[in-house]
Amino acid sequence: MTTRRLRSISRSLAIITVAATLEPGIYFAMNVGPATLGGSSETAAAAIAQWGFVVTPGQLDALAAQMGESTLLSRTGGAPSLAVGMAGILGSVFTGPGLALWYHFAIMFEAVFILTTIDAGTRVGRFMLQELLGHVYAPLGRTSWYPSIFVSSVLVVLAWGYFLYQGVIDPLGGINSLWPLFGIANQLLAAIALAVATVVLVKMNRTRYAWVTVVPLAWLAAATLTAGWQKVFSPDPALGFLAHANSIAAAGGANAARLVFNDRVDAALALFFMAIVVVIIVASARECWLIVAGRKPARVHEAPYVESTLPA
């Protein structure tokens, strides 16, 4: 099972749990495309009735009005269903001006999650780029030097902005081609963070607490690296990048070359990411062993603790 599927399962469980509060007819009205439901509440209700679920146009229109929307038909993707379900739960627990408040609160929560992910990724990318550029010109490696901050920030934002732009103008390009790597990259980044935290604990002479980071690191590294390997080399076209590329190449088609290229790029990047993480984990383990064995002094480079001068 790949990391992407594990993340999809976790997200799906959350959506299913909340969406289970919705009536089946309402759920299908929100999650079936307009080509099937048509463009009105009447056509949607008629289509859903053929599947054995009863929902009236009045119910669909009333629900949309309660949520502060003109319509909720074909709002696919899971987020609107999650928001409507959360609104129903929160609206029954807390008093307030109405379901629209909780619906838009849930939508905002999901949007903020995406924005904070982009923000954190931009910051990490900037720090990494500054460290790399510092080997070319030392001042560029200083995180407190404003020209370095500005240049590295602009370069990183332009980099991911390019992929977003390409994803808009090309349905098969840009961020759409890299999206399958999101789950793997996200979990591998967490593994790097845990490895670094373990080294910091050892260097601070807090080795007895290292299990707090080592245990989740061991599980995360084993699960993610195994999932990444399967995602690249699985013979199942529905799972493996390379197998999927081979199946598309054999079938042919108008977009076959682009899809094959995307799969092979994803496979190469997934292997590259996994190799980096393995190197970091091995280097971290070696550093910890040298310190614990007394063959290397435990030096920390973190800023020393300074007690707050604010009144208690």
CA geometry: angle 55, 56, 61, nearest 5 deg: 110
Please identify, among 95, 124, 149, the residue that sits at the C-terminal boundary of a domain: 95
pLDDT bin (cut points 50, 70, 90) of residue 189 is confident
How many residues would you count in the chain?
312
One DSSP character per residue, 229-264 reads HHHHH-S-TTT-HHHHHHHHHHH--TTHHHHHHHHH
Spatial separation of the C-alpha atoms in residues 269 and 194, rounded to whole Å: 22
Same domain? 252 vs 162: no
Same domain? 291 vs 252: yes
pLDDT tens digits for 49-107? 998 888 899 999 988 888 888 888 888 777 788 888 888 877 777 665 678 888 888 88
What percentage of residues in the chain have a pLDDT greater than 90?
32
Determine phi and psi for 12, rounding to 5 degrees. -65, -40
> Which of the listed ranges 9-23, 114-128, 223-237 does the model predict with the highest average pLDDT?
223-237
Interval 40-44 mean pLDDT: 90
Spatial separation of the C-alpha atoms in residues 304 and 144, rounded to whole Å: 18
Q: Which of 255, 299, 219, 235 is nearest to 3 (CA)?
A: 219
Same domain? 135 vs 48: no
Of the chain, the end-to-end C-alpha distance in Å amounts to: 51
Is 52 a member of any domain?
Answer: yes
Q: Which of 13, 14, 33, 116 is nearest to 73 (CA)?
A: 33
Same domain? 239 vs 132: no
Same domain? 292 vs 181: yes
Same domain? 142 vs 182: no
Its domain, for residue 141, covers 102-169
Is 124 a member of any domain?
Answer: yes
Q: Which stretch of 75-79, 126-130, 157-161 has the lowest confidence by average pLDDT?
A: 75-79
Q: Return the DSSP state at 305.
A: P
Same domain? 37 vs 137: no
